[in-house]
Structure 1
Amino acid sequence: MFRLKIALAFVLLISGLVGIVYLTVHSHMGQALEEDAEVALRRTALIAEKTRRLDEFALLEKARFVAQRADLNAAMVAEYEGENGEYDRHMQVHKLLERDQILFTEFYAPKNKGKRNLDLNLLHREPMTQEIFMVIDASGKGVATLGKDLLQWFGDNVAKQHPIILEVMQSGEARTDMWLWSYSAADKKQLYVVSIVPLRASPGEPPVGVVVLGNAINDGVAKSSQLLLEGRIALEKPQHRRDSREQSLAPEIAFFHGNKIYGSTFGTAHQLKLAKVLFEGKTPLADHNLEELIEIQIDDRPYRALARYFPGHAGGETPAGFVVLTDAEQALKPLVQTQSNILFGAAAILLLGLGLLLFFIFQFIKPFEKVEQGIQEMLAGNKEYEFSTEGLHEHAASLSQMLNLLTAYLQGKPMPDDDGSEESWGELMPEAHMAKHDKAGAPIVQGVALPGMGPKAKKEAPTEEDVS
């Protein structure tokens, strides 16, 4: 029972200390990690937004370059005779657009290969291939466009679908916009960021049309943005790009328009689930705030997400923006690891400490068990039993010596301080007794002064004569 009480007290002490440490770490470290995750999420969203803006400015610069070409402006205002005049203008403009596309893709792009986008001016920044590359006349109808199997495309009223074209021609100022666009009603529309620049025959004159350049926003763009936010550059080989730890910490990105996601770093299944979580019953930024911090779950996996509008696209029936997501479990992983280490260390300390405690208790109690066995033997009738002090610790040896003195006293045997006792006591006599004739007082047996023993003679037992 004694050993059990000590062990239980030790377990309770360690458990209490571990509980205090565990709760303290959970309270302070968990709150700090959540705050850091939110700050990192906002910074990530800001970087993603500025990156998209920089890409828009680069696209705008390319559109300005094309729109300022004198021969393109001349081709737009030239008079084309005959019934095929519109077609002739279409072909002339198409050739000029092809020329500029070749300049971007076959001259600028190879020249800048291996260089970072940050080191290039806006006109030379990637991507150099634009998915939308068209010219529209003053009435809002398409004149020519580049693209596979699009040589014959012209005459569609683009301004009817995107009134911003007429707004640019009226104001004379270049604009950027987000379009859902396809060249045919049978084709699925994709999301594009476009730049619209007015065409003028000469400075100061009204625009004769606009140049529209656009880049698709899709999964590839989302993954490129993720790569940038991860602190990597596109020049690195994909197979050496990320390890599992870096990949788990990289934020996820999704671009939305209205209530649909058009590009993300998720797979198709997860992207559909994300759209359902974000837009079913509630639209992100429903109050038209610039951003909104939300917590969502996809397949029971918690995410912290920050939804933000693209600049200028916060209003309207189909707002456009992006969502940056971080895995909440990954953000709190250091806390979980720390708590696991605390519990593991506490269990190790508890088991090791309990084992050492029981070992030392056993080593301390074991000599007393030998003494107890000796007492049992004397009770069984062995009056000559002597308690050995050899190999015992101080307390057990002192008890054994006291028991030897007690049994000798009760049996009337010579005491250690009696003359000639050395022969009877032998090795059981303490060294202090050997100097008893040189010092006054009672001899010391294992550090204990025995009453009634010393240089004075012990009192004789009273006789019958004394009693009478």
Structure 2
Amino acid sequence: MYRWKIGIVFASLVIAFTALAYALSQRWLYSIQDVVSSAPKNSFTAFEKLVQLQTLAMHDAARQIASSELVAYLRTLEDFRGEFIALEKEIYRRYPSSVEPDIEEKMRHYRSEYVMNNSSFVKRFASILSTRVGAVMGDAAFEPQGRAAFLRDKVLLVEDCASVAVNNCFHKFTFRPLQSVLRRLQPTFSSPYSPDVVIVSDQRGVGWAKSDDPLWSDKSGFVEAYPVILRARTSGVVDDIIQLGDDGSYYFVTAMPMVDGGEYLGAILIGVMIDDSLLKEAAKVIGHEIAFALDDKILHSTNRDEMFQSFVSDILAYLPIDDRSQRVELRDGTGYAGVAFYFARHARYDEPYGLRTLPPAIDRLRVVLATHVTRFSMVVSALNWVTIGLGLALGCAGGILLWLLIRTYRKPFEIIDQGIHEIIDGNLDYQFHFGFQQDLPDNMAQSLNLMISVLSGRPVGRADADGAKQWAQSVLVEEKLPRPSLGNMVGTGGELQGRAVPPLPPTQRSADQLNKERAAQYYRRLYADYLAAQAKTGAGKVQIPYSAFLEQVVGHENALKRRLGARRIRFNVLIRDGNATLVPVLID
């Protein structure tokens, strides 16, 4: 019956623990849902800091490029513009172009020779250019070949490009130094805001070089197409979003003027493409899904899922178009929760924008930060079921283990119970088996054997205990006492009437103390005292276990009681002649 009671108690505890774990996980789920729902809103400040970092990185890149040797190239090209045009007119007057490839090749050769023959102009151009580049960069401008090699290279470049057209010279003397500048400055740019494209335009608004396109040149309508250049000429540094290239990709751009001695020479336009990789880098920092939308058009997002796109459209519909400082929070049926706001929240719209009829695109760019609350809830809900399953599994495993432990612990007592019934049946020669793995049933079986031996009057101890008997003969000491009758013994005084018993050492128990000591406590204490005395004498490890020790002590106690007619005999441990011995004490 007790097994069922233990099983019911254990099952109740398992169910209670599982229910508690489930309730705590549900409470944790609801609190986490609230935290997750508000996380995008709380990440708004972090995103603003990220925007500031991007702006600073792009400004720094533009400033480095605008202050590089490109200024010297644009200054020199502008100073020699009239001479380049006059040279072009003269060589084409002498050697006009032809639609026939063979004839044009020959004419180009003649033009090149003409430029070589007028080398004073070319050398003067190269000399002034090298001086100005050296003033900007120092000796590093001519490494590793040196200044002479630099001059020679520029002379050859003029002879080659001038034989084609002046515009070709302007392109090559802009594109090549731009590539050199970018190679040198690339390690200093901050990723992921390293420029994807850099465009150089002159003071007339003509685009001469584009870093990712060696054929892009002589774009006379460049400034009209991108008024951000005009705004940079008057405002210094301008940020915007524009479309560059034939694929219609949008770019974050920074325009910065290039100035020499207070004179405007042109402008640098650097751009970072708005694509999925840029948003994913930002999402790593923010920790949420991100979407960019220009007006009502979603440009890019970190999640192409249809439900996320629908959420972005829904939340943007609540964002007012007349107040860029506002932001909107939303959690809808798609399972997403997020916040929407304008990329540039503090823009002013009462200022004129020149040729623009709308505010700059960067002021119309809208941002959505969102996270999928339901998806997270599904994960946590799955964890709840895992908790329940784990609790039940542990309960079953614990129940099986408990059953095995009870069975293992119960088995020795069942064997002892069978032996008790043998005694009840009259089999007084029955010997209880001991040697169980547990101490309690082992001691109980031995105690029952000793009890039967004492009650039946047969010798105490096993027949095969020769080693224990030899130990007893060397350790157990019998005092040479007379055989008194029970009537003339004094139990507590340790004396016989008319005869004195040797007094006990002060460290040993008196007869009165031994008489009051319970049997189980007495035998275990006596065994412990014997081990301590043996260790004190340096006799080494004891060779007799407790079970054999108990049998020999009880056997000698019974023998002394029968011989002396005493009611009780107990022992004290003494050290005599360097050996641990057991000395009997008579108790009446």
Task: Give the alignment's TM-score, normalised by structure 2.
Answer: 0.45
1:194 maps to 2:194: no
Cα displacement string for residues 149-184 of structure 1 (whole angstroms, at most 9, x for unaligned residues): 65464347837xx66666666xx212423234357x
Amino acid of the residue matched to residue 296 of structure 2?
A: N
Relative distance call for 1:223 and 1:319 in structure 2 (3 A) is closer
Distance 2:343 2:415 in 1: 84
Deviation at 1:368, TM superposition (A): 4.2
Deviation at 1:282, TM superposition (A): 3.1
Write the mapping of 1:200-215 to structure 2, written as runs, cut at 5 A.
203=262, 211=267, 213-215=269-271
Distance 1:311 1:363 in 2: 75
Q: 8 Å contact 1:256–1:322 — kept in the other structure?
A: yes
Relative distance call for 1:44 and 1:388 in structure 2 (3 A) is farther
1:258 maps to 2:295: yes
Correspondence for 1:309 among 298, 318, 343: 343
Q: 8 Å contact 2:206–2:221 — kept in the other structure?
A: yes
Distance 1:44 1:196 in 2: 26
Give 1:233's aligned residue: none
Correspondence for 2:177 among 84, 103, 112: 103
Q: 8 Å contact 1:222–1:255 — kept in the other structure?
A: no
Does the residue aligned with 1:154 lie in a helix, a strand or coil? coil
Relative distance call for 1:33 and 1:297 in structure 2 (3 A) is closer
Does the residue aligned with 2:457 lie in a helix, a strand or coil? helix
Correspondence for 1:389 among 432, 436, 439: 432
Distance 2:185 2:178 in 1: 11
Distance 2:183 2:257 in 1: 29
Q: 8 Å contact 2:318–2:328 — kept in the other structure?
A: yes
Does the residue aligned with 1:127 lie in a helix, a strand or coil? coil
Relative distance call for 1:150 and 1:255 in structure 2 (3 A) is same
Relative distance call for 1:220 and 1:277 in structure 2 (3 A) is closer
Correspondence for 1:422 among 446, 457, 462: 457
Does the residue aligned with 1:280 lie in a helix, a strand or coil? helix
Deviation at 1:3, TM superposition (A): 1.1
1:366 maps to 2:398: no
Relative distance call for 1:164 and 1:104 in structure 2 (3 A) is closer
Distance 1:386 1:196 in 2: 112
Q: 8 Å contact 1:33–1:332 — kept in the other structure?
A: no
Give 2:3's aligned residue: 3
Deviation at 1:362, TM superposition (A): 1.7
Relative distance call for 1:93 and 1:40 in structure 2 (3 A) is farther
Deviation at 1:45, TM superposition (A): 2.6
Amino acid of the residue matched to residue 177 of structure 1?
A: D
Does the residue aligned with 1:102 lie in a helix, a strand or coil? helix
Correspondence for 2:195 among 115, 127, 138: 127
Give 1:50's aligned residue: 52
Does the residue aligned with 1:389 lie in a helix, a strand or coil? coil
Distance 1:151 1:16 in 2: 79
Cα displacement string for residues 180-203 of structure 1 (whole angstroms, at most 9, x for unaligned residues): 4357xxx55331223345688984
Moved more, 331-340 or 249-258: 331-340
Distance 2:386 2:558 in 1: 58
Distance 1:60 1:340 in 2: 56
Distance 2:172 2:331 in 1: 47
Q: 8 Å contact 2:223–2:229 — kept in the other structure?
A: no
Distance 2:401 2:218 in 1: 90
1:279 maps to 2:352: no
Cα displacement string for residues 198-240 of structure 1 (whole angstroms, at most 9, x for unaligned residues): 6889848xx8x9736141423275178459x57xxxxxxxxxx
Structure (1 or 2) with the greater helix fraction: 2
Distance 1:220 1:337 in 2: 31
1:173 maps to 2:232: no
Task: Give the alignment's TM-score, normalised by structure 1.
Answer: 0.54
Deviation at 1:6, TM superposition (A): 0.9
Distance 2:385 2:314 in 1: 38
Q: Could you say what the CA RMSD is over the residues aligned between the two structures, in angstroms?
A: 6.3
Relative distance call for 1:199 and 1:108 in structure 2 (3 A) is closer
Q: 8 Å contact 1:179–1:192 — kept in the other structure?
A: yes
Does the residue aligned with 1:191 lie in a helix, a strand or coil? strand
Distance 2:45 2:302 in 1: 19
Relative distance call for 1:102 and 1:154 in structure 2 (3 A) is same
Relative distance call for 1:74 and 1:331 in structure 2 (3 A) is farther
Write the mapping of 1:33-44 to structure 2, written as runs, cut at 5 A.
34=35, 41=43
Give 1:464's aligned residue: none
Give 1:463's aligned residue: none
Correspondence for 1:154 among 220, 224, 242: 220
Amino acid of the residue matched to residue 362 of structure 1?
A: R
Distance 2:47 2:311 in 1: 20
Determine what percentage of the aligned residue pairs are the same residue.
Answer: 15
Unaligned runs of 5+ in 1: 85-90, 120-124, 231-248, 409-414, 444-468
Relative distance call for 1:385 and 1:319 in structure 2 (3 A) is farther
Cα displacement string for residues 330-367 of structure 1 (whole angstroms, at most 9, x for unaligned residues): 99999999989988986786566544432332233334
Relative distance call for 1:118 and 1:189 in structure 2 (3 A) is closer
Equivalenced residues, count: 378
Amino acid of the residue matched to residue 117 of structure 1?
A: F
Does the residue aligned with 2:405 lie in a helix, a strand or coil? helix
Does the residue aligned with 1:390 lie in a helix, a strand or coil? coil
Amino acid of the residue matched to residue 422 of structure 1?
A: G
Distance 1:199 1:192 in 2: 21
Relative distance call for 1:26 and 1:109 in structure 2 (3 A) is farther
Unaligned runs of 5+ in 2: 90-164, 350-358, 463-550, 570-588
Deviation at 1:57, TM superposition (A): 0.6
Q: 8 Å contact 2:315–2:330 — kept in the other structure?
A: no
